[in-house]
A and B are shown apart, each in its own frame.
Chain A
Amino acid sequence: MKKIACVGMTAIDVITTPVTGLPPLNTVYHVDKIRMFVGGCAANAALDLAKLGLPARLSCRLGDDIFGQFVMGELTKHGVNTQSVTLDPQVDSAVTIVCLDPVEKERRCLTTSESNDNFDTEDISDEILAESDIIFMAGMCQLKKFDGKHCGEFVKKAHDLGKFVAMDVMWDFEGVWMPKVADALPYLDLFMPSYDEVVQIIGETEPEKMVEKLHALGPKNVVVKLGKQGAIVKEGDDGPYYVPIFPCDPEDIVDVIGAGDSSCAGTLAGLATGMNLHDAVAFGQAVASYCIRAQGTYNGIRPMEEILDAMKKVK
């Protein structure tokens, strides 16, 4: 089984529910739940992998505050290796307050980013590179110092060392997009963005054209996540194919936070255990369907065998 490292964006999600609007000025509004969860693509993926039963490493930067300490506690509790997690007393941890609307089952978020703004190559330990086979760059486009040049250099280095390098992006609030990822693309084995992000990166709206155009920029394989439509895959030079979502009873959906990250984690778990890309992406879709059945980004994930069994039953 191959070893996976997740590198990049980590944050704390403070989930409040039920919230259907901002309270009136100068009042206090009752909510049933305010809970902290670990968030951010890289940490989500690492925790998803841990819950699937695959050991994972995480590299990221956090503040040395109650939020950072909370993340360390959760990571340790779930068995994620934190050797490359930096707690920096000079920065505030990146926090997202999530207002979860239980009726719409959708979320609105307020976010800060200081710790991620300061993440850089020096936060990625040599050990994590040496000990891992698959490197998952997660949360690109929201890592102010690392995006673009540093990311490109690191990805090339990992590639030259024979690592399998995968990458996902986040929403670019600065609206820069392509220059932040261009350096890394030629060295990627697998690029796994979401539909909305690809529209911004290359200005294409048709999925089949998306994966062709992205593939032409360098990544050996491309998976574009299509939300409720599943995913579209460009595997090497073969023609693109669709992978549907894994069915889930709408009654069971609690919140959709982290579904994309979990589909990436599932795909990588499939590859790490020897699946071909198609099966790995299908497994990723199944993992995502578990993710959305519980609150937070990783609480719904079950061990890999259990999810594989469920997939067999559906067939």
Chain B
Amino acid sequence: MKKIAVIGLACVDIVASPVNDYPEMGSIFPTDSIKQFVGGNAANSSIDFCRLGVGKDISLCCHLGDDPLGHFVIQELKNHGVDTQYAAMDPSVDTTVSIVYINTQVNDRYAVLCPSSAYAFRSADIPAQMIDESDIVFVTGHMMLGKFDYECNEFLKACQEKGKFTVLDVMWDLQGKWMEKIEKALPYIDLFMPSYDECRYMTGTEDIREMLRVFREKGSKDIVIKWGKRGVVIAKYGEEPYIITPCENVEVLDTVGAGDAFCTGTLTGLAMGKDLEEAAKLGSAVSAYCIQGAGTYSGVRSLEETVAFLKDHPTQKLPLE
């Protein structure tokens, strides 16, 4: 299997559930559980790869604070089998923390986030050795990576020149700049994997075809748009886009981390030599497992189990209207 360098956001998620209303002023409102997890796209994906059983083929580069929360993240990553040698611990910043409130009535979530260490990420954090050892370079959590968001185009261009396959997923842009942060990088991303809501903000439109047109105009190649309950839109460069629906008959516990799980599964498929359509089906199955578990990674299971699950809970290929 090809080797993957996972680069980007790692943080602590404090997940509170259920939170269906805003507590009254001055009140203390009981909830069922408040638990800490490792969070952040790059960390989630890395743990997902390990839970699939392909952890030895990935490495992780991220920027944490040198504090108890940062140490917790490193320890959890290690416990899951992630290679953390390229994870930087920076005493001048706090580890990024995100508090995620799960609304169980509508099965969705809100989050508040304090960026800190995430915004301190730099190209210089990424060792050349890590890139040289990899075949696929996966930047994930873009929009939340400080200056690196703007340096990303140069970084990805250099990776492509070294013959690497570049993949990128975005996070929520707290600063609201969106396209400004990413447009220079788009021509150097072989596979762009944003979510529908993020695309709305990047392109200013709600129409998928229009979104694809805007991205292509800026130089994008292959694009996969993650569309939540509707599945994913696969738009290979030069081909007609289509939809892969989610796996059927899945009971949702919580959707946190579903996107990262999808990316992980898709990249695993590509690294194993599958074409994009087959890889995306595998991604859908990983995502389906993810949403059956609490938190971002606890639902994800081994590759064998996931392949079997996909057989029993198939996806459908539909035209894009």
**Chain A interface residues toward B at CB < 8 A:** 14, 16, 19, 21-34, 36, 65-67, 69-70, 73, 92, 95-97, 99, 101, 104, 106-113, 171, 173
Contacts and interface: CB of A to CB of B under 8 A. Distances in A.
A87 to B, nearest CB: 15
A26 B226 CA distance: 14
Given A23-B112, A65-B36, A70-B68, A110 B16 contact: yes
A106 B25 contact: yes
B36 A108 contact: no
Contact of A66 (B24, B28, B36, B115): B36
A101 B31 contact: no
12 contacts: A16-B99, A22-B101, A26-B108, A28-B110, A28-B112, A28-B172, A32-B114, A34-B113, A97-B99, A108-B26, A111-B28, A113-B30
Interface string B164-198: 00000001101000000000000000000000010
Contacts of B111: 23, 27-29
Interface SS of B by simple majority: strand
A108 B108 contact: no
Contacts of B128: none
Contacts of A107: 26
Closest 4 CB pairs of A and B: A28-B172, A108-B23, A95-B34, A34-B114
Contacts, number: 119
Nearest to B23: A108
A31 B26 contact: no
Interface size class, chain B: 35 or more
Interface in B8-41: 12, 14, 16, 19, 22-36
Contacts of A30: 112-115, 174
A27 B172 contact: yes
A26 B109 CA distance: 5
A25 B103 contact: yes
A97 B172 CA distance: 22
B124 interface: no
A33 B112 CA distance: 10
Interface string B193-223: 0000100000000000000000000000000
Nearest to B76: A66
Given A108-B26, A110-B16, A112-B33, A16 B72 contact: no
Given A34-B114, A108-B22, A173 B30 contact: yes
B98 interface: yes
Most chain B CB within a 10 A radius of its CB, from A16, A26, A29 = A26
A25 B22 CA distance: 12
Contacts of B106: 25
Interface in B98-127: 98-99, 101, 103, 106, 108-115
Given A97-B34, A107-B26, A108-B23, A28 B68 contact: no
A31 B115 CA distance: 8
A34 B67 CA distance: 14
B74 to A, nearest CB: 12
B62 interface: no
B114 A31 contact: yes
A109 B27 contact: yes
A26 B197 contact: yes
B69 interface: yes
Contacts of A106: 25-26
